[in-house]
Structure 1
Amino acid sequence: MGQKYIRQFIQILISLGIAVWIFWFLYQDIALDELIDQIRSSNWAWIMFSLVISMLGYLVRSWRWILLIDTEEGKKVTLTRAYHAVMIGNLVNMLIPRAGEVARCGVLTRTNGISVGYLIGTVIVERSVDLLCLVTTIILAFLVEKELFLSLTRQLIDLESLGQTILSNLPVVVGGIAVLMLLIFYIFKQFRDHGLINKLQHFFREILSGLKRIGKLSNPTGFWISSVLLWVIYFMTMYTISFGIPSTANLSSGEVLLVMVMGSIGMIAPVQGGIGTFHALVAFILIQLGISEVDGKIFAVIIHSTQVIVILGAGLISWLIMMKLPSWKKPEQT
């Protein structure tokens, strides 16, 4: 048991070290004066409005979670308790990547008597749907900003020469794909009892069973509407904050959508609160949109820092409130 905790502690230190290194590498050339000037010149009415929208997003996420907790077990979860649990989860995620999902389930188990296993199942469904929404948003961003997408791809890959190479070697390419698919099938069949293969199979089975579970909810329509609304809120949070910063005030809605997609990808990286990865990807896409490197990096700092402050403040308040609540006790049978 001691070795397990040591290994987890080392993993946390490594992820934090990577995050800090990426952040330092990005901002080592940014003068503090430039950051202060950008903060002073920003329209904080827009930025504060974006924070109000993001808080609405946490409420919507809490409501969606309630819709998933479709059980007679324990005490019925109110929107207030679900919100506080979600904010505690976000707070813990700032310290330990992915641990917040377990933390928020543990909070409701203590206060409402619903089993951790059941609640973790609902979180897996949430994350599966969020992944589906992210992929859909990426496709939407591609359709809206197709030329920019292709331009970015051309910077990484010579599409024309790649296409010619594939066409001139089409039989080899088709044969290679067929061999690769057969190899994957063989590996999954031959090593189906291996730990990694089991985890992959279990992961995809959980996603499939989770999506099937949504159809059995008492309000599946509300669940899907809230899931879509969440991503609209994410976009509006980014869009409104872009108005508040002079360097990004003229970005189109399609360009902001691209920034949001890159930021979302950065946030799912296994580092504390997306530190470093969020900043790197958001700054990268802004530079491609014609924003200066300094302004792009400062924009990433402002939007990430304001969200972190909200999570820290609201998360601590939620933690204090939930810790004062008594633990749930099963009613005695009469």
Structure 2
Amino acid sequence: MINQKLKQWIQIAISLGIAVWIFWFLYKDIAIESLLEQLQSSNWFWIGTSIFVSFFGYFLRGWRWTLLIHPEQGEKVTPARAYHATMVGYLVNLLIPRAGEVAKCGVLNRTNGISMGHLLGTVILERSVDLLCLVGTILLAFILQNSMFLELAGQLVNLDDLLASLKSNLPIVIGGILILILVVRFILNRFRDHGLINKIQHFFREMGGGIKRINQLENPLGFWISSIVLWVIYFLTMYTVSLGIESTANLSSGEVLLVMVMGSIGMVAPVQGGIGTFHALVAFILIQLGVTEVDGKIFAAIIHGTQLILVLVLGIISWLSMMKLPTWKQPEQA
């Protein structure tokens, strides 16, 4: 048990160290005066609007969660209580990556008596739908900004030479794809009892089964609409901040969408609160869009910093609110 806890703390320390190092590497050459000057010259009406929109998004995420929780499980969960549990989860994620999902389930398990197994199942389903929405957002960004996608790809590889090579070796390419499919099928069948293969197959089975179960909810339309609206809110959060900063105020909505996609990918990285990875990817894409390196990094720092402070404040308030509630007890049978 001690070795397991030590291993967990080492993993936390490593992920935090990586995040801090990336952040330091990005900002070591930027003077604090530049950041302060940008903060003073920014339009805080738009940044304040971004914060308000984010707050609404957090509450909507809590409401969406209540749609997945079975009413026969313990005491009925109100949207307010689900919101507070969600914010506690975000707060924990700032210390331990991915631990927030378990933490927010633990909160409702204590206050409403809902089983951890059921709650964790709802969180897995939420994450599966969010993953689908992220993929859909990436496809939308590609449709709206396909030239930028191709330009970025062209920086990594010569697309004309690649296409010419594929055409001249088409039979080999097709044969290679078929062989790859056969190899993957062989591995899945041969090592179907292997732990990693089982986990991968189980993940996709759970995702498929979970998505099918959504249609059996009391309010499936509300779940799907709220899931889409959440990503609209993520976009509006980024877009309103871009309006409030002079160097990004002229970005088109499609370009901001591309920035949001890169930021979302950065937040998926297993580091505390996306620190470092979010900043690196957002700054990178802004530079490609013509924003100076300094302004791109400062933009990333402002939007991430305001969201970080918001999560800290709301998370602590929610944690204190939930800690005041008594532990749920099974009602005595009459």
What corresponds to 2:255 in structure 1? Answer: 255
Whole-Å separation in 1 of the counterparts to 2:148 and 2:333:
65
Gaps (5+ residues) in structure 2? none
**Displacement after TM superposition at 1:174 (Å):** 1.1
Q: CA-to-partner distance for each residue in 1:258-280, whole Å, 9 max, x for gaps? A: 00000000000000000000000
- Give the TM-score normalised by the residue count of structure 2: 0.99
Whole-Å separation in 2 of the counterparts to 1:89 and 1:14:
21
Whole-Å separation in 2 of the counterparts to 1:245 and 1:38:
8
**Displacement after TM superposition at 1:70 (Å):** 2.4
User: Any conservation in 2 of the 1:59–1:83 contact (CA below 8 Å)?
Assistant: yes
What corresponds to 2:129 in structure 1? Answer: 129
Aligned residue type for 2:247: S
Aligned residue type for 2:48: M
What corresponds to 1:306 in structure 2? Answer: 306
Whole-Å separation in 2 of the counterparts to 1:179 and 1:263:
36
- Percentage identity across aligned positions? 68
**Displacement after TM superposition at 1:44 (Å):** 0.9
Aligned residue type for 1:271: V
What corresponds to 2:159 in structure 1? Answer: 159
Listed as ranges, the matches of 1:54-65 within 5 Å are: 54-65=54-65
Whole-Å separation in 2 of the counterparts to 1:155 and 1:64:
41
Q: For residue 94 of structure 2, give the secondary structure of its aligned residue in structure 1.
A: helix
Aligned residue type for 1:23: F
Listed as ranges, the matches of 1:286-301 within 5 Å are: 286-301=286-301
* 1:29 pairs with 2:32: no
Aligned residue type for 1:332: E
Aligned residue type for 1:234: Y
Whole-Å separation in 2 of the counterparts to 1:100 and 1:330:
26
User: Any conservation in 2 of the 1:92–1:103 contact (CA below 8 Å)?
Assistant: yes
Whole-Å separation in 1 of the counterparts to 2:67 and 2:124:
14
Whole-Å separation in 1 of the counterparts to 2:81 and 2:324:
12
User: Any conservation in 2 of the 1:70–1:218 contact (CA below 8 Å)?
Assistant: no
**Displacement after TM superposition at 1:148 (Å):** 1.3
- Give the TM-score normalised by the residue count of structure 1: 0.99
Aligned residue type for 1:57: G
Whole-Å separation in 1 of the counterparts to 2:150 and 2:279:
22
What do you get for the CA RMSD once the two structures are aligned?
A: 0.7
Listed as ranges, the matches of 1:165-176 within 5 Å are: 165-176=165-176
**Displacement after TM superposition at 1:65 (Å):** 0.3
Aligned residue type for 1:39: L
What corresponds to 2:233 in structure 1? Answer: 233
What corresponds to 1:115 in structure 2? Answer: 115
- Higher mean alpha-carbon deviation, 76-85 vs 6-15, is at 6-15
What corresponds to 1:3 in structure 2? Answer: 3
Q: CA-to-partner distance for each residue in 1:107-163, whole Å, 9 max, x for gaps? A: 000000000110010011100000000000011011111111111111111111001
Q: CA-to-partner distance for each residue in 1:275-318, whole Å, 9 max, x for gaps? A: 00000000000000000000000000000000000000000010
Whole-Å separation in 2 of the counterparts to 1:13 and 1:209:
36
Whole-Å separation in 2 of the counterparts to 1:236 and 1:250:
15
Q: For residue 307 of structure 1, give the secondary structure of its aligned residue in structure 2.
A: helix
What corresponds to 2:105 in structure 1? Answer: 105
Aligned residue type for 2:195: G
Q: For residue 90 of structure 2, give the secondary structure of its aligned residue in structure 1.
A: helix
**Displacement after TM superposition at 1:71 (Å):** 3.0
Whole-Å separation in 1 of the counterparts to 2:207 and 2:2:
32
Listed as ranges, the matches of 1:312-323 within 5 Å are: 312-323=312-323
- Higher mean alpha-carbon deviation, 266-275 vs 10-19, is at 10-19
**Displacement after TM superposition at 1:190 (Å):** 1.0
Aligned residue type for 2:22: I
- Higher mean alpha-carbon deviation, 87-96 vs 172-181, is at 172-181
Q: Which runs of 4+ in 1 moved over 3 A?
A: none
Aligned residue type for 2:61: R
Aligned residue type for 1:47: I
Aligned residue type for 1:122: T
What corresponds to 1:198 in structure 2? Answer: 198
**Displacement after TM superposition at 1:21 (Å):** 1.0
Whole-Å separation in 1 of the counterparts to 2:20 and 2:196:
29
User: Any conservation in 2 of the 1:259–1:286 contact (CA below 8 Å)?
Assistant: yes
Whole-Å separation in 2 of the counterparts to 1:178 and 1:112:
52
**Displacement after TM superposition at 1:7 (Å):** 1.3
Aligned residue type for 1:195: G
User: Any conservation in 2 of the 1:20–1:276 contact (CA below 8 Å)?
Assistant: yes
What corresponds to 1:17 in structure 2? Answer: 17
Aligned residue type for 2:253: S
Between the two proteins, the alignment pairs up a number of residues equal to 334
**Displacement after TM superposition at 1:50 (Å):** 0.5
Aligned residue type for 2:134: L
Whole-Å separation in 2 of the counterparts to 1:41 and 1:80:
36
